[in-house]
Amino acid sequence: MKLILKEYLASLREREELDAVLPDLLSQMGMNVFSRPGRGTRQDGVDVAAVGSIDGEEETVYLFSIKPGDLRRPDWNSGSPQSLRPSLDAIQEAYIRNRLPQQHRQKKIKICICVGGDIREEVRPDIEGYKDRYSNEQISFEEWNGDRIASLIESCFLQEELLPEAARSHLRKALALIDEPDASYKHFAMLLDSILSEDIAKAAQRVRTVRQLSICLWILFAWAREQGNLESTYRAAELLLLRLWHLARDYREKSSKTAQSIQSVYGAVFNTYLSVGNEYLSKSVLQHASKTHGLSSAVHGSTTLDINLKLFDLAGRTALYGLWIRWNALNFTDGSEQQKALLEVFRTYAGALKELVNNNPILLLPIKDDQCIDVALGVLVLIMNDDKESIEGWLTQIIDRAAFAYRFHKPYPCNIRAYHELLEHPQPDEAYRESATVGSILYPFISILASMMGEQKLSAAVKTFKRDELQHCNFQYWYPDDTSENHLYVNDEMHGANLSGIDVEAAPKGLLKQVFDECENMRQFWELSAVKYGFWPLVLTACRHYRLPVPLHLFREYWMPPKDEGAESAPDADAEDV
């Protein structure tokens, strides 16, 4: 395990990676971290600062200057502000004199040279000479290389009594099987189950648990990035984000030290999820979405089914990541540079989603009815990007192609989930066709959106298909209920309620009244902790990961009925204010 940890540390970058892991490690060691890394702020050479006692020594101030990977001669003093020596000079001349808190100035100070790898022999004489020259009674120097940090992580996070051997085994298997994403993800999920299966009663245990799992995800991410296969890591990051919310939600309104620690680590897990998503999607989607059939041809599937399943999955991931970016942007001050930059990133992902659909026609016909989930996420992104024309075009193509495929026994949206059964879909007998389309969320969703947008031709197409071919099909939709809060984030039991018999043949006003009145009746959506605490994209993450329909409550936030219908408008609150 130590070798695994050392390899992981050596692959970490400095910014928001190695400097994100170190504060959690120091906190777990019982130290008080009083300065964490920040962007756009003057650091005077100090990336992380903490005070405390290690191995029974007297209380000491530890000031860390962090460099990624191995430390080579060019990293020591190349004239760049990022070199190590200027950072060490700045710590002594600026940080200790001007920025070290007054209550710590009389304590012993250790300036720590922190590297994820090793200090190369070529630079060793320079460092030893520097340490000899500037050490005094108060200030001394220490080296924290990958070997030492790996030992501390193993002893403080992953020791036998804290991380059981079964969990350690699942972590090793998740790493070893990165090139087999399903198996790697399965072992990471089993790792979570082994740690989170029992009720964690003590607050200290909860803090330790979230830190352990945050480190485990970072290890998986670092190894997967090195091997160029982030599939299992992406799924693992989503799963951990959901599972830890189930544990962390009770601390959102508390200000105790435990609550602050758990909220801080959960924020770190969220940032890891964003890093994984950016690394994965920027290379797999953003670079190729503009190429005709670019992503379809890149799947290298043995059948068109493989391409269909992967492309809809990519569309859902792209849309969900764009929603998270937009949500994150609206947490910054209106008009700030950070908000402008994030909104530009959101527009990039919205544009990539549009290009993904336009350049890969396989996205114009789902093979599974539950791919409506990915379509719904895409529609939300396009709504927020004010691109209703693309929504109308995409949904029109889906219903036209689905109707044609159904009539001529071509691959049409079905209720089948098992891969081996999908390979044999469709079969040319009427009994099979009715069985494979016994229920649908896709077609009523399209009809609801058509009614919201006033697209009469699209509404008429769904009505005709229902009346002529799908009279046996139950048009339905799912709503969260009062049991959803306890099960949505962990997916351990069935939950929610189902509205059956959605009448798409009714007038648009009547259809919207039927489904949105149910939103009023099922107001438990607004009581979900993720929604109540303003973290609403987490609900969408759960929907995508566990394959649940995207709640219509969010679409209602954007509904403004046509004036000629004389209906009262829905609440005009923006979904970002949910």
The tens digit of pLDDT for each residue in 121-176 reads: 889 999 999 999 999 999 999 998 888 888 887 776 655 445 677 788 898 899 88
Specify the higher pLDDT residue, 219 or 91: 91
Which of 260-264, 284-288, 465-469 has maximum average pLDDT?
Answer: 465-469
Which of 70-84, 141-155, 281-295 has maximum average pLDDT?
Answer: 281-295
Output the six-digit token pair for 445: 């969703």
Helix ranges (DSSP H) in 408-490: 419-422, 430-436, 442-453, 456-468, 484-487
Least reliable range by pLDDT among 36-40, 113-117, 134-138, 312-316: 36-40
Q: What pLDDT is attached to residue 571? A: 35
Q: What pLDDT is attached to residue 16? A: 57
Q: Which residues of 559-568 are buried (b: 16+ CB within 10 A; e: fewer)?
A: bebeeeeeee
For residue 365, pLDDT beyond 70: yes
What value does the mean pLDDT of the chain take?
88
Q: Which CATH architecture has domain 1-155?
A: 3-Layer(aba) Sandwich (3.40)
The DSSP letter of residue 137 is S
The DSSP letter of residue 257 is H
Which pairing describes strands 474-475 and 32-35: parallel, antiparallel, or unpaired? Answer: unpaired
Q: Are 262 and 207 in contact (CB under 8 A)?
A: yes
Q: Alpha-carbon distance 525 to 555, whole Å?
A: 13
Output the six-digit token pair for 228: 């160029």
Tokens 């004010």 map to which residue?
A: 386
- pLDDT tens digits, 435-472: 999 999 999 999 999 999 999 999 999 999 999 999 99
Among 329, 365, 373, CA closest to 349: 329
- Helix, strand, coil % over all residues of the chain, rounded to 5: 60, 10, 30
For residue 271, pLDDT beyond 80: yes
For residue 569, pLDDT beyond 50: no
Among 551, 493, 485, 557, CA closest to 518: 551
* Amino acid letter, 529: S
**pTM of the predicted model as reported, rounded to 2 decimal places:** 0.79
Percent of the chain surpassing pLDDT 90: 61
Q: What pLDDT is attached to residue 575? A: 35
Q: Are 384 and 350 in contact (CB under 8 A)?
A: yes
Least reliable range by pLDDT among 290-294, 318-322, 370-374: 290-294
Q: What pLDDT is attached to residue 161? A: 47
Q: Alpha-carbon distance 14 to 298, whole Å?
A: 32
Q: Are 158 and 212 in contact (CB under 8 A)?
A: yes
Q: Alpha-carbon distance 476 to 483, whole Å?
A: 19
Q: What pLDDT is attached to residue 558? A: 67
- pLDDT tens digits, 403-431: 999 999 999 999 999 999 999 999 989 99
Average pLDDT over residues 209-225: 86
Specify the higher pLDDT residue, 246 or 461: 461
Tokens 């689905």 map to which residue?
A: 402
Average pLDDT over residues 503-516: 95
Q: Are 395 and 401 in contact (CB under 8 A)?
A: no
Could you tell me the pLDDT band of residue 560, with boundaries at 50, 70 and 90?
Answer: very low
- pLDDT tens digits, 325-347: 999 999 888 889 999 999 999 99
For residue 18, pLDDT beyond 80: no
Least reliable range by pLDDT among 74-88, 298-312, 539-553: 74-88
Q: What pLDDT is attached to residue 486? A: 94
Q: What pLDDT is attached to residue 62? A: 93
Among 416, 522, 528, 436, CA closest to 477: 522
Q: What pLDDT is attached to residue 75? A: 86
Average pLDDT over residues 89-102: 90
Residue 365: HSE in the Cβ half-sphere, 13 Å Cα cutoff: 16
- pLDDT tens digits, 177-195: 999 999 999 999 999 998 8
Q: Alpha-carbon distance 398 to 440, whole Å?
A: 14
Among 11, 36, 39, 3, CA closest to 218: 11
- pLDDT tens digits, 383-403: 999 999 999 999 999 999 999
Q: Alpha-carbon distance 429 to 172, whole Å?
A: 48
Torsion region of 123: left, alpha or beta (phi above 0 gives left; psi -120 to 50 gives alpha): alpha
Q: Alpha-carbon distance 233 to 543, whole Å?
A: 18
Could you tell me the pLDDT band of residue 209, with boundaries at 50, 70 and 90?
Answer: confident
